[in-house]
Every structure is written in C-alpha cells, then in structure tokens.
Amino acid sequence: MRLPRFVLPLLALAGLLLFGQGAYIHAKALVAQVLLEHAFEKAIATGRETKPWSWADTWPVARIEVKRIHASAIVLAGSSGQALAFGPGHVERTPNAGERGVAVYSAHRDTHFAFLKNIVVGDEIEVTRSDGKHFRYRVDAASVVHFDASGIDPFADGHHLVLSTCWPFDALTQGPERYLVHATMIVSVPDLH
Amino acid sequence: MTTCDEIEADKRSEQPGLIRLVLFFVMQGVAVILVGFAALFLSFEPVWSAERLSANYLKPGDARSGSLLIKNEEGYADASRLGIDVDLTVSGPTVRARVTQIFRNPTQDWVEAVYVYPFPSGGAVDTLKMVIGDRVVVGDIKERQQAKIIYEQAKQNGQKAALTEQERPNIFTNSVANIGPGETVLVQIEYQEPVQQSGNEFSLRVPMVVAPRYNPAPVVQSVEFRPDGGGWGAVKSDPVPDRDRISPEVLDPASNAPVNPTRITVRLQAGFPLGEVKSLHHAIKTEKPDANTSILRLAEGPVPADRDFELTWKPAAEKTPSVGLFRERVGDSDYLLAFVTPPAVEQAQQKPLPREVIFVIDNSGSMGGVSIIQAKASLIYALGRLQPNDRFNVIRFDHTMEVLFPSAVPADREHIGRATSYVGALQASGGTEMVPAMRAALSDNAGDANYIRQVVFLTDGAIGNEQQLFETISALRGRSRIFMVGIGSAPNTYLMTRAAELGRGTFTHIGSVEQVEERMRGLFAKLENPAVTNLTAKFSDAAADITPVAIPDVYRDEPLVLAAKLDKLAGSVEIKGRIGDRPWVVTLPLANAAEGKGLSKLWARRKIADAEVARTTRQANPEDADKTILALALEHQLVTRLTSLVAVDKTPSRPQGEPLKVSELPINLPAGWDFEKVFGERPRVPAAPAERRAGADEAQVQVAALKRAQPVTTQAPNTVTLPRTATDAELKMIAGVILLTVSLILLVLNRRQRRQMSRR
C-alpha cells in the first residue's frame, strides 16, 4: 500500500503548525516579559505609567520576586486573556499590593506562574510597585479552590497577597480548579515608627 | 541469501537515515522558532484591537445632558440606593406579584428618583402604593398625559408623588418625587400574570433587569408638515423615539459591586400535588406550611438584580392535567380562563412534509459572553436534527448581515458540515440590526409548496425598535412561521412573544448552556410535529367575548389558552380544531370551573394585547385601537401604553425654595454579558469599589428594616472570581510532535518500501 504523495507533507505541515502555535504561546510569554521589564524600569525611573509597546492596552503595575527559587515576573494591569498572555495580571476589583485587603495576581500555570509549584510555606515574596514602593510578604498557606468560589474577600482586614493559577499543574486542558498561594505582609521596620 | 543481503542493505542505509533524522529535527526547530517569532510580531495587532464597538448604544448621560443627574467623580455612588422585594403568590393558573421597591436618598438634597424596571410581558399592572412613614397613598389609574400632569404638579408643590408608566409592555418606569435628605420611600406595585405551561411543566419568570438595548440610528426620515405651517415641517421618525427613556445607566460589573439587592418569596399553590420544583438560575430553599402550599425563598438572601428569576414546577402524578378551567365573577360579568393541551396524535395516513428551515443567529455585541456560546450550541444542535430531505439556510447578523448559501440547500452531510463550521467560527461584536435579517429570512423566493417553511431566530432581542420588527413580520411573513429562541440571562420576552405570535410560531427561552439540549429538543418536537390548526371555541348558552379572537395554532406540548367574558356561567364550551389531518374536538362544561383570582385583569390585558396586534398589522386603524385600549385600561385599572398609575401625597413635604434633583438609578448588566462588547472600552483605571459596597450593604439593611422581617443575615457573596489561567500550549506542542513523529515514521517506511521495490 502506498500513501498518496501529498499526505506526508500535509501531516508534517499540520504538526509543524500546531507545534509552532504552542511554541508561539511560550515565545510570546518570554519576549513580552523582556519588553515589560524595560517598561517597568522606565516606569519606576519616570514615575509614570509606561506602555511596554506602543499599541499595548495594558501596562506593568508591579514586579514580583521569589528570591529563594530565583523567580520573577512583571505583573500587568487587568486579568483579561489578552493581558495574561504576556504576564501575570492584577485581578480587577482587588486592591493594589501594599494596600489594605487582598491583592490578587493571576497567571498561566505553564508560563509565568509555573514557579508556584515550587513555592513552600515560609517563602518570601517581594513586590515592587510601579511607583517604586517595595513590600514583602510571607507565604502562609496554599490551597485549591473552584474558580467562582475562591473565598477571597478583597476587602478583608490586614494586608494580603494571593497568587492564583490553574490547578492541576500538569493537566493539558482547562479546568475549573485554581491553585492559590496565600501570603501576608511582613511589616517593614520603617512602618513601625 | 536474500535475507542476509537485505539486512546488510538496511544497515547501510541506517547511517544516512540517522543524519537525515537529526537534520530534520534541527530544521524543524529553526522553522518553529521562525514561525513563532513571525507570528509574535505579526499577530499582536489583531489580538489587541479586540473590536472596539462603535455602536449606537445610548446612555441617559448622552441623551439628557441638560438634566440634573447626581453624578460625582465616583459615578453614581451617592445617588439614591434601592432595594427590591418580590412577593409572588401562585394560585392555580395565575400569579399575583407584589414588587416593593425601596428608594432611599442618602444625599443632602431633595431628589426625584427615576428607575427603569422590567415586568413580564403578559403582566397586568393594576396597583401602585406609596408608603411614607406610616402613611399609605394608593395610586389611581389615569390617562398617561393626565397622570404626568398630576405628577408634575405635585412635584412642583413639594408633595411626594409616584408615577408608574409603561415604556414597552415589559419595561416600566417608576418616578418618585421629593424624597427628602436621608429619607426612605417605599413604592409597591402589583401585577397579575398567567402561569406558563409547556408539556407537563408549569413556569413563571420574574425579569429582574432591563438589558441594554441596541437602538438603531435614524436612517430613514420622514417629514411632518404642520397643518398651519406654510411649508415648514419637522423631520421625525427616529426608529426609537423614546431611546432616552429605556436606556438607564448601566454599571460596569468589573468596577462596581452589584446594585439593587433583591429578595424573592414565592407562595406556590399549584392546585395539584407538586412533583419537582426547580429554580433555574437562583438557589432556593423550600418550606411547606401545609399540604397545598410551598413557600420558596432565595437560599442565599438578597441577590443583585442582574438575571431573571425562573421557577418551574411539575405535578407529582404521572399524568399531567390536560385541561384547566377557572372562573371569576367581577361586577355583572363572569370571566373564564381555560387551558387545554391537545393530545399528541400520531399521523396515520401521510408522512409529514419536508421542511425548509431558515436559521437566523444574532452575533451582535450584546450576545458576547455566554450568550453566543448558548446560541451557537443551540444552532449546531438544530443543524444536527435536520432530516436529509429537508432544506435549510443560515443567516448571521450584527449591524451587518451575511447569508451562508445563496438559497436554501438540501440538508446533506456536506452542507451541514459547512454550516456547522461556519457557525462555530462566529464571534459576538457590533450592533444589532435585526430588521434586515428578518426581512432576508422571510424572503421566500422559491415558494415551493411541497416544503413547510420555518424560520428559527436566535437572539436576545436587545433592541429598542421592536415596532419596526413587528411591522416587518406582519408585512412579509407570507407562509413562513417564525420560531423565536431567546438567549441569555435577560432576553426581551415582549419582543420574543409578540414576534412569535405575529409569525404564528413559538417562543423558546434558553437561559443557560445546560438548558440548550432539553429546550431545543422541545422546540424540535414542535417543528417536526403537525400543529393544531383551525381552532375555534363556541359557547353553547352564554354570550362570550373571547380572546384571542383568532385562536393561534398550537404546537406539540403547548396548551391552548383562552380567556372569555361571559354574561352568564351556563352550558359548556366546545373547542374544535385539526391535528395534522385529523379533526379534534373537546367539550368543557362550565359548571366544573374552579374559582380563580384576577382573571378579569388577565382577560383585559389579553384584549389589550389583541388591540395592539391589530394596530401593528393594520387590521384596525390606530384611533379605534387606542380607544379600545383606553376603555379597557380604565375599566380594569391597568397600566398600558396609554394609561399610567399616579399616587400623590396630600401633605407637601419639600419646603418652598429647596431645589429638587433628579437621580436616575443605575442598573446591573445582565449576568453573562460582556460590558466591553456592549459599551466599548471601559475607563482606564477602575474606581476603588470599597465605597460602592458600603452603599449596597446599607440598602440591604434598609430592606430588612423596612420590611420588619428577620434581619438579613447572609450578605451578598463578595468573592473574587479567578480568571482562566491555563494555555493550550502544551497540548498543541504535544499534538504537533505526535503528528511530526507519525510523518517521520511514514517517511522512513515509504523510503524503505521504495528501495525494496526498486531492488526488485
């Protein structure tokens, strides 16, 4: 039995396209973070909202770092699907990091927040806001919740940070469950005076 | 020996094969990176410019720039807050609803509150009460103009006043004048509505929010000359002359906590032992104080008014009552309400005619979010149900329109496949120009009498120019029958029911993705089985004024609903019709009718709807129709297009000289709607919602305090919904690698085969 001549190239092309699309998602996530890093540096230097590229409809609002596992990412305003392709998003209707309540950052489990699986209770998360203010949080819990029953009250007492991503980490398809890393602010010394 | 030779040959060819393999992977890697980066820079643009809608959605701010809106930089945070309490009593075939709206003025000024409010389209609004402190002021029905004058007068005098006006049969406006600083006024509206029945399922729905309507810009203008005008005239005929009256401010759910907390209580006395009772979009809890009554409440306390409340119940018995007969005596007359479900008769002689089905799908911006998913799923289901000898076509519309095939095509595999992938790729954006789409769907060029022509129209009906659509249907319907499928959490039921009535079809509502299959199956039972036609009703003894005058065809599992005003309750009523090719008759003795409530109002409401239809279809001239409507409305105390309810408190409360401000109360966006798709880009920086929330809580507390009921214990859940955070990158890459591997294996096999062949 011989296959028609066109089947092979077609199959290879389809495979190439699919692989390319997948790779594109990762490439986009990587390249965008580089551009965002620049924009963020500029924002801190100038003190103004800076767009990473001229046609972007979002802008960097903070940088999060976990020094122990050498992870860092630039967080964008808003958590629309478009914004999440480029970086973690600051979920709408939650306060900014450093403010009273629960700030929620969300990102894809296979790109920017892949490092969440390595975070353990006690880790320190550092957040630098685009206005240059710096806050430190300590991880005190991790949980798995349903996306519409997160149990997060954005106006709860105290200063909290929640990082959210899809759960389970190694699943291939979308699911309703979310993995949350919960952290509470460590009061910095100048604040006590 | 040959074997040995072959093995050797293989070994020899393995070396270059391996190199080729490595090369192949290297090339692949390079190609992937190239493709990835090319795509990265090429496709940023379309990803970002996700349709900025330039639609004609108007907000009152645009329309009434001269009026006094209490607006500060935080939006409507300080405008009058509102709570709603809905109390429903189902007794047999009717629903009596009491809607209490709480207007509270947290400002330092005297305000007038204006609130646009949805009602069921078959509802007969007959009572308005205003409660100020201990005093109750009961409203009177007046001609609309007159009521407006009375209200304005009271407003000027500083008296408290309330006015209920009908904007559409399912949209009402409440205005409350002279609410003092810090003061609370309670406005209570009551209406009567028939229970809906389909198959063995009974249902009621309480619309909770007016969905933002697409109001087409005036295109065709006509000039009206004044009789005395000497040639000067005014240009008129905006397709939505009252656009500012039906377009309240809508709050962006992303930056505002939901407003208008609503409590719902249903006292269910179905008149038969209850089986399954279900609330489709809200969690409920049930109490049973006695055997015949169930009391249902919202399980989680007040909810934001952003989706319709829908309740269904079924009888416990296997066999559904197929006949219901109810009577009420008001004044000198008896009123009768009859429900008859014709039997499902199998057709003996002939096979049903093949059908020509035209599907129309609304992919405008208002359908964004879950609505378009529901619509697409419904349509794809429908395509799968077509028979091979049927014909079909698909039309999609937003502010543009596209017809898939030049004319209806046979429902074979190929055409269905094309239509399915076409529908699957639809995206929701743009305006809602429904009339051209309806016109295209009704253009029946072939006119082949061997096919039954059916139009299935999927939309949320979020338009303000309903009248234009009705006129199009009544002018062009021909032999086509129109089946409306209402999509989403708050469809325009008035548009749906009236369009289905004019198009002699039915209205099916799909409120969630889970309902798609069940409801579409029901619809197809109606499409595929012959309707009950040529229906007539005759009373043996009594002189009767029957509505609807011409009884519409009844589809599978639907009841025939008949209301009549009788001079005496005697004899029987005989209902005749044809089910497909077989005659059907049923006789109901009137003496067996059970006592019902509010039937006279339902009869009057139905008569008014008849008159409105006759006006639309030009069967009656507008003046005569209006006269009929006015007489019925005044006699039965109903709010209509021509009459309003007005209540005025005799004692003035606003001191002379204090100014009065107008406060238009904002409404929620219906659940599942996408704010940006409807109103375009949202403002850059969302306002801090903390203050907003405090306001909503206050209003809830107010509901509890004013009702003197148990305090509200559960607060509206205030939790963050987390976005989707998984990509299909891995899935795609794995699939890609698998495909590449398969092609590689095939390549190697092919080569080997060829070599073998060439050797031979």
Indicate yes or no: CB of A172 within 8 angstroms of CB of B730: yes
pLDDT at B358: 93
Interface contact B689, partner A, CB < 8 A: yes
Residue of B51, B173, B734 lying closest to B429 (CA atoms): B51
Interface contact B446, partner A, CB < 8 A: no
Least confident stretch, A7-11, B315-319, B408-412, B570-574 = B315-319
Distance in Å, alpha carbon of A122 to nearest chain B alpha carbon: 24
- If you ran DSSP here, which 8-state letter would residue B107 be given? S
**Span B255-268, mean pLDDT?**
73
With 60 as the cut, is the pLDDT of residue B440 above it?
yes
Chain A residues within 8 A of B746 when measuring between CB atoms: 3, 7-8, 11
Q: What is the mean pLDDT of chain B?
A: 74
- Closest chain A residue to the Cα of B685, Cα to Cα: A77
Least confident stretch, A14-28, B149-163, B654-668 = B654-668
pLDDT at B6: 40
Q: Is residue A38 within 8 Å of residue A130, measured between CB atoms?
A: no
**Span B194-203, mean pLDDT?**
82
Tell me which residue has tokens 């879950």. Answer: B370
Both structure tokens of B574: 């005989």
Both structure tokens of B511: 């409120």
The rounded distance, in Å, linking the Cα atoms of B476 and B739 is 53
* Residue of B675, B677, B727, B746 to mutate when probing chain A, most A C-beta within 10 A: B727
Distance in Å, alpha carbon of A106 to nearest chain B alpha carbon: 7
pLDDT at B603: 92
Distance in Å, alpha carbon of B44 to nearest chain A alpha carbon: 9
Chain A residues within 8 A of B727 when measuring between CB atoms: 25, 85, 108, 110-111
pLDDT at B418: 92
pLDDT at B69: 29
More confident residue, B143 or B511: B143
DSSP per position, B181-227: TT-EEEEEEEEEEEPEEETTEEEEEE----PPPB-PPP-S-EEEE-T
Q: What type of residue sits at position B441?
A: A
* Residue of A1, A7, A24, A26 to mutate when probing chain B, most B C-beta within 10 A: A24
DSSP per position, B583-616: EEEEEEEGGGPEE-SSHHHHHHHHHHHHHHHHHH
- Closest chain B residue to the Cα of A4, Cα to Cα: B750
Helix (H, G, I), strand (E, B) or coil at A137: strand
Both structure tokens of B690: 């903390």
Indicate yes or no: CB of A15 within 8 angstroms of CB of B39: no
**Max avg pLDDT among A63-67, A138-142, B595-599:** A63-67
Indicate yes or no: CB of A19 within 8 angstroms of CB of B743: no
The rounded distance, in Å, linking the Cα atoms of B679 and B477 is 33
* Residue of A5, A10, A28, A143 to mutate when probing chain B, most B C-beta within 10 A: A28
The rounded distance, in Å, linking the Cα atoms of A156 and B445 is 64
Nearest CB to A155: which of B44, B690, B736? B690
Q: How confident is the model at residue B132 (pLDDT cuts 50, 70, 90)?
A: confident
Q: How many CB pairs under 8 A join A and B?
A: 183
The rounded distance, in Å, linking the Cα atoms of B89 and B268 is 6
* Residue of B23, B48, B720, B741 to mutate when probing chain A, most A C-beta within 10 A: B720
Chain A residues within 8 A of B731 when measuring between CB atoms: 22, 172-173
Residue of B356, B357, B360 lying closest to B438 (CA atoms): B360
**Span A153-169, mean pLDDT?**
83
Tens of pLDDT, residues B266-287: 988 887 788 888 888 888 888 8
With 50 as the cut, is the pLDDT of residue B176 above it?
yes
Nearest CB to A92: which of B254, B728, B740? B254
pLDDT at A191: 43
Residue of B537, B525, B557 lying closest to B342 (CA atoms): B557
Contacts of B145 (CB under 8 A, 6+ apart): none
pLDDT at B217: 52
Tens of pLDDT, residues B468-527: 888 888 888 888 889 999 888 777 888 888 888 888 888 888 888 888 888 888 888 888
CA A138 to chain centroid, in Å, comes to 17
Helix (H, G, I), strand (E, B) or coil at B160: strand
Nearest CB to B736: which of A19, A82, A164? A19
Neighbours of A36 (CB within 10 A): 26
Q: What type of residue sits at position A53?
A: W
**Span B133-160, mean pLDDT?**
87
DSSP per position, B433-486: -HHHHHHHHH--SS--TTSEEEEEEEE---BS-HHHHHHHHHHH-TT-EEEEEE
With 60 as the cut, is the pLDDT of residue A24 above it?
yes
Indicate yes or no: CB of A150 within 8 angstroms of CB of B722: yes
Q: In three state form, how does the secondary structure of A10-26 look? A: HHHHHHHHHHHHHHHHH
| Terminal-to-terminal C-alpha distance of chain A | 84
Indicate yes or no: CB of B723 within 8 angstroms of CB of A21: no
Q: How confident is the model at residue B715 (pLDDT cuts 50, 70, 90)?
A: very low
Q: How confident is the model at residue B681 (pLDDT cuts 50, 70, 90)?
A: very low
Q: Is residue B262 within 8 Å of residue B302, measured between CB atoms?
A: yes
Q: What type of residue sits at position B483?
A: F
Contacts of B93 (CB under 8 A, 6+ apart): B194, B195, B271, B324, B326, B337, B339, B596
pLDDT at B314: 85
Q: Is residue B327 within 8 Å of residue B318, measured between CB atoms?
A: no
Tell me which residue has tokens 């519309």. Answer: B397
Percentage above 70 pLDDT, chain B: 72
Interface contact B751, partner A, CB < 8 A: no
Q: Is residue B503 within 8 Å of residue B438, measured between CB atoms?
A: no
pLDDT at B579: 81
CA B21 to chain centroid, in Å, comes to 59
With 80 as the cut, is the pLDDT of residue B128 above it?
yes
The rounded distance, in Å, linking the Cα atoms of B747 and B740 is 10
| Residue B86 phi, psi (nearest 5) | -115, 125
With 50 as the cut, is the pLDDT of residue A180 above it?
yes
Q: Say what the ipTM of the complex is.
A: 0.81
Nearest CB to A154: which of B28, B720, B742? B720
Distance in Å, alpha carbon of A18 to nearest chain B alpha carbon: 5
pLDDT at B630: 92
Residue of B392, B393, B398, B394 lying closest to B372 (CA atoms): B398
Q: Is residue A119 within 8 Å of residue A66, measured between CB atoms?
A: yes
**Span B173-196, mean pLDDT?**
84
The rounded distance, in Å, linking the Cα atoms of B569 and B591 is 7
Chain A residues within 8 A of B729 when measuring between CB atoms: 21-23, 25-26, 110-111
Indicate yes or no: CB of A55 within 8 angstroms of CB of B45: yes
Tens of pLDDT, residues A47-81: 777 777 777 767 888 999 998 888 889 998 877 77
pLDDT at B215: 59
Tens of pLDDT, residues B321-348: 678 888 888 888 899 888 888 877 665 5
| Residue B69 phi, psi (nearest 5) | -95, 135
Please state whether the predicted TM-score (pTM) of the whole model is above 0.80: no
- Closest chain B residue to the Cα of A94, Cα to Cα: B720
With 90 as the cut, is the pLDDT of residue B392 above it?
yes
pLDDT at B261: 77
- B466-476 vs B493-502: helix crossing angle, rounded to 10: 10
DSSP per position, B658-676: --EEEEEPPBPPPTT--HH
pLDDT at A188: 54
Contacts of B85 (CB under 8 A, 6+ apart): B99, B100, B102, B262, B263, B265, B703, B707
The rounded distance, in Å, linking the Cα atoms of B610 and B628 is 10
The rounded distance, in Å, linking the Cα atoms of B416 and B388 is 10
Chain B residues within 8 A of A21 when measuring between CB atoms: 39, 729, 732, 736
- Closest chain A residue to the Cα of B757, Cα to Cα: A2
pLDDT at B707: 32
Tens of pLDDT, residues B624-636: 999 999 999 999 9
Indicate yes or no: CB of A17 within 8 angstroms of CB of B45: no
Chain B residues within 8 A of A147 when measuring between CB atoms: 721-724
Q: Which residues pair with B729 in a beta bridge?
A: none
Q: What type of residue sits at position B456?
A: V
Indicate yes or no: CB of A22 within 8 angstroms of CB of B730: yes
- Closest chain B residue to the Cα of A107, Cα to Cα: B725
Indicate yes or no: CB of B720 within 8 angstroms of CB of A21: no
- B729-759 vs B2-42: helix crossing angle, rounded to 10: 150
- Residue B672's region, left for phi above 0, alpha for psi from -120 to 50, else beta, is left
The rounded distance, in Å, linking the Cα atoms of B386 and B403 is 19
Distance in Å, alpha carbon of A86 to nearest chain B alpha carbon: 11
Q: What type of residue sits at position B567?
A: D
pLDDT at B683: 39
For B299-399, list the strands marked E by DSSP: 303-304, 309-315, 323-330, 333-340, 355-362, 391-397
- Closest chain A residue to the Cα of B40, Cα to Cα: A28
With 80 as the cut, is the pLDDT of residue A98 above it?
yes
Chain B, 27-86: which have a CB under 8 Å from a chain A CB? 28, 31-33, 35-37, 39-40, 44-45, 47-50
* Residue of B722, B745, B749 to mutate when probing chain A, most A C-beta within 10 A: B722
Indicate yes or no: CB of A8 within 8 angstroms of CB of B746: yes
pLDDT at B309: 86
Distance in Å, alpha carbon of B254 to nearest chain A alpha carbon: 6
- B599-616 vs B622-636: helix crossing angle, rounded to 10: 170
Half-sphere exposure of B210 (CA within 13 A, CB side): 27
Identify the structural domains of chain A with CATH numbers, from first to last. Answer: 7-189 (2.40.260.10)
Both structure tokens of A157: 């007492």
The rounded distance, in Å, linking the Cα atoms of A170 and B730 is 9
pLDDT at B203: 87
**Max avg pLDDT among A171-185, B394-408, B554-568, B660-674:** B394-408
